[in-house]
A and B are shown apart, each in its own frame.
Chain A
């Protein structure tokens, strides 16, 4: 049979037919547009300094050991590939939790591990169940992957376990619980989480996102990792972006049952976590200088200050665990964002979290908290 001759040279520019090429669930999805870099925002809003109170970053930065790693990172190492599966970090995490290193997967921030899990378990026709007012990325990744996201309204500002269980059907693959919840700070106790896991049974994956785990000081707050041996369908997320202060390096991880993680690993992109992030995370994890204690003290002080100031302004507050709280405003949160930006204070308007007229503010150093209160008073005047 003669070979077909295919001409590769053509002067015609063929534009791809994106309507035919791109699945409808991708075409319809609105890409998230992140904030502009600080200098651009400062120029746009005409402010000389900017207090970043929108992303729940740790104002103390990384622990001292991690700071030292970042300072001393040898520039020639920029040319070398990192460990493809974060070998040493996984060993340290596993040792800390008493797990096998193969029960740990490290990703380029918790956002990436969310994608790993959805890709591993869901296909067209499946659904995930989570809350309507929680971290948006579970819903986003599901939707732009063609997976239905069933978002259950919060009850008393917390995840509604009964509502979530009712939403389960034969196509439900994953239930995402943010514990404590971002943005409300509510949490499920150990008993409530266990009851939920018992009710779900082993047929589905339950993800407990503990991004703010290290901030919680309540006795009944559960360590999800300690439940893994009883619930092999449980997957727990942690991050180095919040308490450990290396959000800029993008690194987070998940832990789970050996067989479950083995499946998730198949969808995991190796080499996605850079060398500096792995080394800084390792140093942060080994911190023995009291970084967590110092951060918690700062958060406590700021929370108490804001509670007092916001009460004087007669503004309702939703405040639980984590390094943030929500303030209900008498008017538009997005307008408040713009007005406060002019004063050099960046908060998170909450309409996108389905909390219209609410703002979320990161609990940070007193100087920033005072600037926030002053800007808020001016905004409301």
Chain B
């Protein structure tokens, strides 16, 4: 379905402005309209909406959103169709450089120039950026041929170039695993995936279907300790690591290669959040939010990977749908939900989003564990919720939906979220206060 890339005109005032037209922004814009907001502006820095989904050509999307397994571009297509049906203002090739605390959005695009719009509410859907070489400090030379897996994915899937011929992948994040398969299918040789930790960071489905299927070795507890090559990568040195994750140089070896792809994690793109001086959660790297994903600055919402790194686009869309609807409510002057319960990470929980819950809403709690538990695991949210799951791993987010009926008794309290082996949960009794590693 065709759309014009530009709005017919840019209004001076919008009810809701959505920054970023990836899975979060698309869903937020749709929800804002469906909640009754009339004037909605959706801004994206790329030439067309869809965000990172455009280059994620693999399947595995939509199992929750559509009960169907679709590819990234198809997932985007379905949401963009819904945006078009609603006739929203979509401004592409545009970048939001600033949002003031008074909700004045400064943006630039070749068709509108440098301009500002006032808006009743803002939804930040700016996604994530990849960790780079500097953040994991690999010493050595700085030749061409070291790049993030996501940049390689863009070059291969959109532009039709290969990042190199002989590729080493550092980190077993899902993008790295998926790129190992993509590069193999497209004619490059992937020499191995090296993971510092003793377990893969990506989904086990991707380990089997992207590595094992193609006989690509996964080296756990091993890392790249040096990169060689003056102009272009020529070689890397890899070494196993000890229990403290320190490399053992005596057992190092060199691998001839021309490319190093980094798949060492994503970081919420919290640039706007920082400019707006929103309260940030050190654990997620994103803003602190209520159960409708409103940040510490009223009328500014955050959903998707700029809030916390989600494992599935489906959860991003779900979050953004709540945020978009709530943004419309704020813009239209409706009453906010009470935020009368605090949530905090407890035993074996790295972070929890959102940071407060409401006794008058149905809402979703998302969290990630610190350590994997392979076996029956008790997941509990204070006394309000307790559930047995078959396993928990850091690579997969846990999401739990809670209704007002469950929460009514806990107004004013702080609920701790724990994920513990089933047998320990029984030992710990019901007070939930036997945490050893605390909330940090």
- A and B are partners in one complex rather than unrelated chains: no
Q: Please list the residues of chain B having a beta carbon within 8 angstroms of any beta carbon in chain A.
A: none
Q: Please list the residues of chain A having a beta carbon within 8 angstroms of any beta carbon in chain B.
A: none
